[in-house]
Amino acid sequence: DIQMTQSPSSLSASVGDRVTITCRASQSINSYLNWYQKKPGKAPKVLIYAASSLRSGVPSRFSGSGSGTDFTLTISSLQPEDFATYYCQQSDSTPWTFGQGTKVEIK
């Protein structure tokens, strides 16, 4: 199985900050990497698919990059509604696996 490792596991940031979350795959997954936002009691929401494609309706402050084994999710200017947990997920091969999550908290 492909292991997905996110860093950091949590971070504290202020509104307006630039936030970067990294995700590393245990083997190459080409660009088959997706990012999700999860808030307590709510369904997950896809933000980025295929490493860098912004899902329709998602604010442009979210962006993704990377290929192979190393990927990044960037929030250019953190907004109050962005405080949540973020997960990467590989869709290169089954079982599709998620990272352990990165919790973004208010500083």
| Minimum distance, C-beta of residue 46 to another protein, in the bound complex (Å) | 6
When the beta carbons of 14 and 56 are compared against another protein, the nearer one is 56
CB of 72 to another protein, least distance (A): 17
Whose tokens are 């190393």? That residue is 70
Determine, following the binding rule CB under 8 A, whether residue 54 of this chain makes contact with another protein.
no
3-class secondary-structure state, position 16:
coil
Residue ranges of E strands in 1-107: 4-7, 10-13, 19-25, 33-38, 45-49, 53-54, 62-67, 70-75, 85-90, 97-98, 102-106
Shortest CB 12 distance to another protein, Å: 20
> Contact between 86 and another protein (CB under 8 A)?
no
Chain centre to alpha carbon of residue 95: 19
Binding site for another protein (CB under 8 A): 1, 32, 34, 36, 38, 43-46, 49-50, 55, 87, 89, 91-92, 94-101
